[in-house]
Structure 1
């Protein structure tokens, strides 16, 4: 998914995404961006403004599911976190949706 450098809306806000099935916690900043999906011929087929989590810390966090606290000592990701998906929260637990601190635009 190429990025053309455009961002949508106002600045970012602190946030997290917890992947309950693997106990992985991503911590970073939600940034509004314009994302375009392309077909195999590189023709744009859909464009939308979405919130993208810029991951600054990542790692296994077994306790997050019960206490909603960020595990101490989470390192920066070893390599860029590139993940786009729908249908998070497979285990129907405390990870019903990603956490984002509200900001006004």
Structure 2
């Protein structure tokens, strides 16, 4: 089913966003800084992908779950969405870990 991977990425991102908002971890606390971090991570990983594609290390696999739209050779449209999700997930996990360490340090 084409687009299923993109749908699951969107559902997963919505779940992480719900946790982020519920526990006030990243975006609700510092939206501009969080957005810059996610965009910077996404751009970094897209550059990494570009190098991998140019050197022949990364190739686009065939999957019926992809939409079939390429932004560039061997770069499906789902890739930047996945990289943004990965960056956002890392930011939320990092924020939760920092909060946990602060709480542990404050405990008597």
TM-score by length of 1: 0.22
Instruction: Name the structure, 1 or 2, with higher relative contact order (CA <8 Å, separation 6+).
Output: 2
Give the structure with the higher percent strand.
Answer: 1
Larger Rg, first or second structure (1 or 2): 2
TM-score by length of 2: 0.22
